[in-house]
Each structure stands twice: as C-alpha cells, then as structure tokens.
Chains A and B, each alone.
Chain A
Amino acid sequence: MDLFEYQGKELFERYDIPLIEREVVSSASEARAAAEKLGPVAVKVQVQIGGRGKGGGIVLAKTPDEAGQAAKRMFDEGFKDMPVTRVLLEKLVDIEHELYMAITLDRTEKRYVAMTSSEGGIDIEEVADTKPEAIRKAAIDPLLGLKHFHVNRLVGGFPQQAREGAAELLANLYNLLVATDATLVEVNPLAILAGGRVVPLDAKVTIDDNALFRHPDLAEYQKEFTLDPTEARAKEKGLQYVKLEGEVGIIGNGAGLVMSTLDVVAQAGGSAANFLDVGGGASADLMATSLEVILSDPAVRSVLVNIFGGITRCDLVAQGILEALERIEATVPIVVRLDGTNAEEGRKILADAGHARIVPAATMLEAAKKAVDLGKGA
C-alpha cells in the first residue's frame, strides 16, 4: 500500500529522520489556524498519486488567508478526480539545493537497491537520461544490510556540507525500510537548507501488503485511504477488484486468466468495466458477492464469467451465480464459461436452472464475443 505523504513523514519521525515543522489538517479552517502558527507555508494536497507539483497540488501561501483558501479549493475540488480528505501544511524554508534519495526492493536484482542523485526535485528518470553521472546506485544484500562503504559511495556525490547529514539520513531510511516491511522509500526532493541541514521535503513510502499481519499499527493507515465505493465493497469481501473504463463486467479466477480475459474482450471489440479475481477455491458465497459487486456498477452492459477450475470447483461457481440472482435482479446478460474441475456439473446446474439472463459459452473466445455483442445490444 502507498502511504500518504503525511503518513510517510510520521514514520520518518519515528526513525529519527529530521523534518520541517508541519501540520496535517482536514478542513480549511484548520488549515488557516495551522498557518497562523507556522507562518508562510507550502499547502500540499494528500493523494496517493504523483504529479502534485505540476497539477496544482502544492500551493505556496504567505498568509493564513491564502493557506485557508488553497486548502478549501483542494477539499472542494479534489485532485485529478480523487477526493481529498487531508492537506499537509509545511513551514516555508530557504532551499540551497535539491537532492534525491531512494531505496527500493528490486525484483530484477532481488536485493535492495539504494539510489541517490545530486540533482533532485524533478523527475528522476529525466535526470537518468540527461545527466546520468549525477546518479549513484548500490545493491544491498538484505542478509548483509547497509554498510559504511555503501553509504560513502551513495552520498559521495553530494556537496561536502551535506554528506554527514545525508549519510545519517540514509542509514535511518534503511532502518525504516527493513523494520516496516517497506518495498519503497523515496525522498524527492531531499533539500539542503541554508546552513547545510539536510531534510526531506517529500516522503513516498510503499508498505508490502503481505507483511501487514506483523504491523497492525501500519494497517490502520488504510482507514484513511479513499476508494471508489465499488472497490471499497469488494475489498471488504476480500476480492481483488479494480475499476476500469469499459462496459463488460469481468469475473475470473486467477490474475493471469483475468488479465487475459480483459485482452480477449478488447480483441472482440469491447472493453472491460473492471478486473475482478475471485481467487483460488472460490466458494458459492464469494461468487455470489462478486456478481453483486459487478452488477452494482451502472456502467456494466453485460457480464462475462470466465472460470478455469483447478482448486476452484465449477459446480460451486454455478451455485454462486444462481444464489446471486436470487438476491438481486440482473438487468444485463451474464455470459458464463466454465472449464476444468467439475465443469460439466457446473454447466448442468446452470442449464437446469434455465435462468433467462444466463448465456452459456463453450470457449473463452466465444464467451468474450457473446459478452461484447450482447452488451452492445442491451
């Protein structure tokens, strides 16, 4: 999960990483009050997507009134279609130079990779293209940990006055990463202030969802996240659901098969309304819930259920579909393709039910074509 900047900075504080005086607020009046204490501030929208600087998500405010107005606009208008529930105010500081620092768990290296740049504040990929000599990298074996020689190399390209502070900060970032099961900690920009003090101006932290069982305190952060209502409902039920732009509702088992189904729907001339993976060993109840989630999306014109049973039993899938149709009324056609474990039993259950909205399909390609065609006719 990607933390909000203010959440990342709370973690920074816990790991002795110096920060600029700041306050997180949830209303325009709170923003105004905070700015009265802090003086001139940067007003920063809290979202889990990038592009804040260019997109008007960071506003410099000289007075409390300006800060209040900027915050009001953020709360009222949201940011790039995302609702905004928190805004961070940070005291304005004199910046001498901007650096970059990050550590990530790299799937290619299969180790941590720490990266620094003596040019920060902008897109790091752009620096990599235009000024590669500014970037230093080190792969860190998780069994060995971050060593002095790594740190010396990584901060060696920074201005002399910043090296000591940056070295300490890098060590603390590494400690944070390991202790919190983070897969990414990124600071861009890392500022050198007048006088040489080094402080992070931003904080991007991604925590491994699979490790949340050993970090109940961090799991609490999820409560602050803003989700699409359908996504929130699916998440509550433990379903892997992502809302997309199209009109064919998709249910499948296994991420790869669902992605492939999305592609096949596109090849048939349609476009998927969502990604929904019911996972392995899906029960009738989970299947019913999935169908309810999909049918609650007003954009859906037809549904495609594509199941290849391994651990998942197709007879239970069929029962789940029928259960869902008892609980809610389907107004769109539901194309069902069942294959693998107990597929024949599953097909028979659906055929015997003879429900008007259920359309059987023998293959994945046929199912995609039917779902797309029926959706267009609906």
Chain B
Amino acid sequence: MAILLDGDTKVLVQGITGKEGAFHTLRNRSYGTNVVAGVTPGKGGQDVEGIPVFDSVKEAADATGAEASLTFVPARFAADAILEAADAGLGLIVCITEGIPVLDMARVYNYLRGKDHVLVGPNCPGLISPGKANLGIIPFEICAEGNVGLVSRSGTLTYQIVNELTQRGIGQSTCVGIGGDPIIGTGFVDVLARFQEDPETEAIVLIGEIGGSDEETAAEFISRNVTKPVVAYVAGFTAPPGKRMGHAGAIITGSKGTARAKAEAFEAVGVRVGKNPTEVAELVQATVS
C-alpha cells in the first residue's frame, strides 16, 4: 500500500536532461520507480538512457500515460512547470526545486486549491515508499521497507532520523519531505490523513521546525483525527528570535512559531516529542515493539 506512490505509479521527470534531473532519474529508476518519460522543452525526440524525452508534459502524458511528475526545473521557471503538469492532468506533482519566488507559489497554490492534484514541495527532497519506488532525492540506501510513516519539513534532518530508524530495524511505509518553504502544496495535515487511512502504516513520525504554525495545526488535527501513535521532533530550540536560519519558512516571530511552543502543542495532545533525532528513534522503537 504505502501512500501517494508505489512501484506501478507511472512517472515523468520535468527537467530530465539537466545534471541533477538525469542523475536522480536514473537512480530512481534503478530503485524500481516506473519512470516512463522525461520533459525538456526543445529536446523532444532525444532519450536519457532509454527514457524518451518530450517537449511538453501534455505530449509526454498522452504518449506514455504518466500519472505523476517529478520536477527539477530551475527556480525561475518552476512555477510554470508545476502548472503545466497540472494542466496536463497529472495527479501527483513533486517539485524538488529550491528558491522559487513565494509569490509564484502563492499563485500556484491558489490555482490548485480545490482541484484534485497533489503537489508535494517545492524545496523538498520528495517522497519514497521503501521497497517500491522513490520520487525525489532521498538516499534510498538508508531506507527500509516497513510500517512507520514519516513526514518532514526538512531534508537532511529527515535522512538522519530515517537512518536512525533503519539502524534499529524499523522500516518505513512512506517518507514524505513536504519542504521548508513558506508556501508548500502538501502540508502535515494532508499527509497525516493519508497515513491514518493507510493500512500498512502503524505509527507516524512528524519532523517539524521553527517558524509558522503548521506544527500547531498538525497537533490539533492529530487530537481529532489520528488514532495511530505519533512521535514528533522539532528542530530549532536554540535558534535566537528573529534570526533567519536558512529555510525561508523557518523564521521566528515573537513567541508563536518557537520550537518550545510547537513541542508543547504536541505534548498537550499526547504526542511524544523526542529531544534529539536519536531519542525520536528510541521512542518509535518503544512504540512499535
């Protein structure tokens, strides 16, 4: 089962002929992802190691029946690439690109609002259903098939925690990196709802960080709608107020948005919070064993 993605999902890659696009496309294919096409405007008719390249998403989807897109298109064209994938009718759009202007994303988000497309990212590592398929840049070597669903705003911090889980023999159903930008397509709540529905997922790990109020919203959602055990982690306890820490989303303003406020929101609804990545893995181990 897993969520959003399995080995049958037909995937096309936007920006497949770029350095990163080609590298990760081939890695994903080697892992079992069903990559059926690539798109780079002006390079239609070429191929990347046997994967046919098309000029537009519409042509690629029509010719191959692709259902999902993975996009590496550069920041200044990325919003257009997402809209193109939606226009071609793709149900799942995963955008890895970092540095997209937030106003572009606000327009994309509001265009997609109420429609059936699922957008993951931007500025995210994508998602992986271990043993089935990988749609993004999460290093699959550290993942293992299993029953813990993981959702995170971060990239490398996700790898750290996934690695700690795998080292303890705890596999994952699906790991979703939702991205750290202020406006992202899929939030914690969307993914939590899917994990709650997924019969293969027995426990959930949520990795948050300072800034915004998505963790607080997630805590509220968990208290009402999630019956599976959830373990959370929040990064940024020692981040000083008002300082920008790399992620555009991770800005603290006043007391709201602090790591402490988020951890307290989780604890108030019975979600255990690990104080470091190792403790998160230990708490999960205690939960599932």
Contact = CB atoms under 8 A, between A and B. Distances in A.
Interface in A2-57: none
B1 interface: no
Interface string A237-281: 000101011000000111111111011111100011001010010
Interface in B203-234: 207, 209-210, 212-214, 217, 233
A280 B103 contact: no
Interface string A111-127: 11000000000000100
A255 B111 CA distance: 29
A254 B243 contact: no
Contact of A141 (B110, B138, B275): B110
B163 A211 contact: no
A257 B160 contact: yes
Contacts of A267: 275-276
* Most chain B CB inside 10 Å of its own CB: which residue of A111, A143, A254, A309: A254
A268 to B, nearest CB: 10
Interface residues of A, number: 54
A256 B276 contact: no
A364 B238 CA distance: 17
Contacts of B212: 107-108
B31 interface: no
A256 B157 contact: yes
Contacts of B156: 252-254, 256-257, 308, 310, 312
Contacts, number: 169
A39 B104 CA distance: 45
A363 interface: yes
Given A259-B236, A364-B278, A208 B207 contact: no
B110 A111 contact: yes
Contacts of A364: 160, 276-278
A211 B99 CA distance: 8
Interface in B230-289: 233, 235-240, 243-250, 254, 259, 275-278
Contacts of A111: 106, 110
B245 A365 contact: no
B180 A142 contact: no
A65 interface: no
A340 interface: yes
Contacts of A164: none
Contact of A341 (B75, B139, B245): B139
A160 interface: no
B110 A110 contact: yes
A213 B76 contact: yes
A226 B217 CA distance: 37
A280 B155 CA distance: 9
A328 to B, nearest CB: 25
B101 A211 contact: yes
B276 A255 contact: no
Nearest 9 A/B pairs, CB to CB: A256-B154, A254-B156, A255-B246, A256-B157, A211-B101, A259-B235, A257-B156, A107-B182, A240-B246
24 contacts: A105-B106, A112-B106, A143-B107, A208-B101, A209-B248, A213-B75, A242-B243, A255-B209, A255-B245, A256-B158, A256-B180, A259-B157, A259-B235, A262-B236, A263-B237, A263-B276, A266-B238, A272-B238, A280-B155, A310-B139, A310-B156, A310-B159, A339-B163, A340-B139
Given A257-B156, A312-B156, A340-B142, 20 more contacts: A111-B106, A142-B110, A183-B182, A208-B103, A211-B104, A240-B246, A254-B157, A256-B154, A256-B157, A256-B158, A258-B245, A258-B246, A259-B236, A259-B250, A275-B243, A277-B245, A308-B159, A310-B125, A363-B278, A364-B277
